[in-house]
Amino acid sequence: AEHQHVRYNPLRDDWVLVSAHRVKRPWQGQLEKPPPEDVPRWDPKNPLCPGATRANGEVNPKYEGTFVFPNDFPALQPDAPEPDDSDHPLFRAAPAQGVCKVMCFHPWSDLTLPLMSLPEIRAVIDAWAELATELGASYPWVQIFENKGAMMGCSNPHPHCQVWASSFLPNEARLEDQTQRQHLSQHGVPMLLEYAEQEARRKERLVVENADWLVVVPYWATWPYQTLLLPRRHVCRLQDLSDSERDSLASVMQRLLIKYDNLFEVSFPYSMGWHGAPTGTYLEEDCRHWQLHAHYYPPLLRSATIRKFMVGYEMLAQAQRDLTPEQAAERLRSLPEVHYK
């Protein structure tokens, strides 16, 4: 807690520098603007609202629950042509096809996940699983992710996420596939299943838990209040969760996100995403080395206006954090589970 050291991340096969004493240094850098508190519940000019017109001229239905539609500005398209062959190994390119969708969590723009009811959060989880099944039938990777808050690049306050399905395994997926496969081969147990059992026993990095799930600040966390959401049983994909596990997932997500908001009494920004076993042709392969999990990466460090920047040393050498994961977990764990609003 007092002296710098490095910690190994077995999921990414890399290291993070922990420098807990640096959080005490005075801050004269950039101060962020807190998120607006006066988001209108419905705005006809907001392209994600029910009944609004989107950029491509399509009118949204007056939806009352979740709403999924094709991204009007997709990063991946299913019919993209293949690149030309390279004339040199240092200038390689490869085909990339896919589908990008947007999913609105709720018809109200001022209602984030921690303020939604458990049945409403459960509906989001069911929609995630449905999309993972639908797109995973054709594509090897389906990335569900949510960017929350302008600080994390979100341009629209309406509660929503994105789902990108790709014809290739992205870098993070490829790396996690390799490390988890190697761990199972060497130790005979899925890495994150063993890790969850260890964290449940040690409890020093535990934030919230229930019968089916636990949330920890991982031992190797990079971001100040980064968390890892893990099931207690061995499960490879989101769509494999039982009804009761989906209910308990809604509960543990709500508890975590309320704590996040309560930390600095602000709608807490983060990027989050689900990682599970690849799909498409991988559905016919042995993927026992995979364990379903979700990453939460929030940028805030000291307050609602002071964030952690990943620059300089982090970009050119390796990740570095300013307080220990144990300190972060203790602070999150001690927060109330009733939303400050």
- By 3-state DSSP, what share of the chain in percent is helix, strand and coil, each rounded to 5? 30, 20, 50
**Known binding residues for UDP-alpha-D-glucose:** 22-25, 55, 71-72, 147, 153-155, 162, 308-309, 313-314, 320
pLDDT score of 276: 98
pLDDT score of 75: 96
Asked if the structure places residue 11 within a domain, the reply is no
Asked if the structure places residue 6 within a domain, the reply is no
Asked if the structure places residue 148 within a domain, the reply is yes
**What strands lie across the sheet with 319-321, from one edge to the other?**
5-9, 14-18, 319-321
DSSP notation for 193-207: HHHHHHHHHH-TTEE
Contacts of 55 (CB under 8 A, 6+ apart): 47, 72, 73
Active site residue 88: no
Spatial distance between the Cα atoms of 321 and 220, rounded to a whole number of angstroms: 10
CB 314 within 8 A of CB 19: no
Question: Computed over its alpha carbons, how large is the radius of gyration of the chain?
Answer: 20
Contacts of 115 (CB under 8 A, 6+ apart): 339, 341
**Known binding residues:** 22-25, 55, 71-72, 147, 153-155, 162, 176, 275, 293, 295, 308-309, 313-314, 320
Asked if the structure places residue 210 within a domain, the reply is yes
Spatial distance between the Cα atoms of 267 and 260, rounded to a whole number of angstroms: 8
Q: Can you give the CATH number for the domain in which 119 is found? A: 3.30.428.10
Asked if the structure places residue 261 within a domain, the reply is yes
Chain centre to alpha carbon of residue 140: 19
Asked if the structure places residue 5 within a domain, the reply is no
Asked if the structure places residue 330 within a domain, the reply is yes
Spatial distance between the Cα atoms of 335 and 330, rounded to a whole number of angstroms: 9
pLDDT score of 302: 86
Spatial distance between the Cα atoms of 224 and 307, rounded to a whole number of angstroms: 9
Q: How many domains does the chain have?
A: 1
Domain ranges, residue 107:
38-80+93-334
Catalytic residue among 106, 160, 183, 289: 160
CB 276 within 8 A of CB 237: yes
Tell the residue number behind the tokens 């992205």, with chain if given: 170
DSSP notation for 301-323: -SSSS-B----THHHHT-EEESS
Angle at which helix 118-136 crosses helix 243-264, to 10 degrees, equals 120
pLDDT score of 24: 62
Tokens of 192: 């994150």
- The pairing of strands 227-231 and 319-321 is unpaired
Task: Tell me if residue 174 falls in helix, strand or coil.
Answer: helix
Asked if the structure places residue 68 within a domain, the reply is yes
Q: Give the chain's residues under pLDDT 50.
A: none
